Amino acid sequence: MLTFASPTDEAQAAELMQPCLIRVVDNIRKHTETLDWRTDYLEQLRWPGNATPEQRQQVRDLAAQLSEASPEEETALRQQLSQLPTPAPGYELRLTQGAGEAAAEEPRTATLDVWELCFEVCFDNYQPQQPVSVDPALLDEDGEINWLALDEKAKALVEKAIDQATAAA
């Protein structure tokens, strides 16, 4: 989970994350169109670092019970869930090359965490587990989104991440 360097960074990130995600996904599409790799997006859960396997299972069990719960049971289940670590949705890009070909070799795969790419775009010198600050180049002097800077940074980081991941696969 992210820790913000300041309340201002948190407010700016709330405004920038959706445009960052859109730009990252669009640049993934554009860059992978030039590659001979198949792309698939997989939904993942991102758990806080302190969530134990038992807590994770308990959250999954309680969430499964919600769909068939009465209104009274739903209230009790939500109360129990509020006391447990909450996962955030995450998305993984899986790139596969060679699947379905007649070659005897195993297909090559590479994966990228889409949210991590978004964080790299949105934040200045992003380092996981460190407080984050919004990249000031992504905002103009009025605090509005600098779309050109956002597009350029997203394009550069996506291309670099995909090229490194596919080269290492």
Of the CA atoms within 13 Å of residue 11, those in its CB half-sphere come to 5
Residue 100: the pLDDT is 58
Give the global pTM: 0.79
When mean pLDDT is compared over 29-33, 65-69, 165-169, the highest value belongs to 29-33
Pairwise CA distance, residues 61 & 66, whole Å: 9
Where do the domains of the chain lie? 1-35+89-99+107-169, 52-86
What was the pLDDT predicted at 96? Answer: 94
Q: Report pLDDT for 44.
A: 85
Which amino acid appears at position 138 of this protein?
L
Please write the tens of the pLDDT for every residue from 33-66: 999 999 999 998 888 878 899 999 999 999 999 9
137 DSSP 8-state letter: G
